Amino acid sequence: MPELLVCEIHTHTLWITLNRTAQHNALNDKLLMQLQNQLDQAVDHPDLRLIVLKSNGPNFSAGADLSSMQNMINSNLDENCADAMLLARVLYTLNNSPIPTLAVVQGSAFGGGAGLVAACDFAIAANTASFCFSEVKLGLLPAMISPYVVNAIGTRAAGWLFLSGERINAERALSLQLIHHCVAEAELLSYTQHYVELLSSCAPQAVRETKKLLKKFHTCRIDEELITHTVDLIANKRISIEGQQGLKAFINKTTPAWNI
């Protein structure tokens, strides 16, 4: 039986590949538990700079697994809560990872699969990819994925897609900012490698601190206290080891130590 996930580390990047190709990378409990385990290890890894989430086969992920959906019918409330928590934890870990996360999408990304895309910091898709939130057609709700989708594309656009279950193509997903780049399918992996190299050229601690800053200031009121806090942040960063290295390298036109 093939592995559900294929995980490799290359040049400070963790590549996580969904590998249930016969099931269109549908999300079952075993896959989600393995994915959670890999993410838990990754966020504590001091040398990682990027987590890439991609998939083998023609489709990124069909969403919920058919056998899992059949089990939901015969499960009680507590069992359904425990099952739903698996995806909820994966989404939360992806979204709150101190390390940037990048989704690479080909084919279909439906339901929870599209939720994984929304939970990542960046998303690149082939121009042949498609996205759909079809939960209401099954009498269900896009509950666990909704915070991340709403955060990515806004309430009005999310409402349209959630309430209609309409499928959209990659170009429309790009216009909504569900994805950030849309490229020819043949160029998908090479364009992903470009982002790996781009992130590798950035100061790793500065990247982590910037992601933390974005999370903290997302809903903050701009006032004197916030202004003072941002001044303290940059002043401390300028005198840090990494900040000093970066400034000196820029002035002296040399390569900083972190740039691989």
CATH number of the domain that 45 lies in? 3.90.226.10
* Same domain for 159 and 58: yes
* Same domain for 95 and 222: no
Whether 111 and 131 have beta carbons less than 8 Å apart is answered as no
pLDDT at 79: 84
- Band the pLDDT of 256: cuts 50, 70, 90: confident
SS3 10: strand
Report d(CA 196, CA 216) in Å as an integer: 25
* Same domain for 196 and 90: yes
**Domain membership flag for residue 257:** no
* Same domain for 145 and 244: no
pLDDT at residue 260 above 60?
Answer: no
Domain end position, chosen among 200, 217, 233: 200
* Same domain for 172 and 83: yes
* Same domain for 68 and 54: yes
- 21-30, 53-62, 94-103, 231-240: segment of lowest average pLDDT: 231-240
Q: What are the structure tokens assigned to 26, written together?
A: 């549908």
**Domain membership flag for residue 259:** no
* Same domain for 212 and 188: no
Report d(CA 129, CA 63) in Å as an integer: 14
Q: For the segment 207-245, what is each residue's pLDDT rounded down to a tens digit?
A: 999 998 888 877 777 778 877 877 777 777 778 888 788
* Same domain for 129 and 230: no
**Counting beta carbons within 10 angstroms of the beta carbon of residue 124, is it exposed (0 to 12), middle (13 to 18) or buried (19 or more)?**
buried
Q: What is the DSSP letter of 58?
A: S
* Same domain for 221 and 192: no
SS3 125: strand
Domain of residue 240 covers 204-252
Number of folded domains that form the chain: 2
* Same domain for 40 and 25: yes
- Band the pLDDT of 249: cuts 50, 70, 90: confident
* Same domain for 228 and 143: no
Q: For the segment 168-207, what is each residue's pLDDT rounded down to a tens digit?
A: 999 999 999 999 999 999 999 999 999 899 988 899 999 9
* Same domain for 94 and 115: yes
Tell me what the mean pLDDT of segment 92-110 comes to.
96
Report d(CA 237, CA 205) in Å as an integer: 10
Q: Please state the φ and ψ torsions of residue 8, each to the nearest 5 degrees.
A: -140, 145
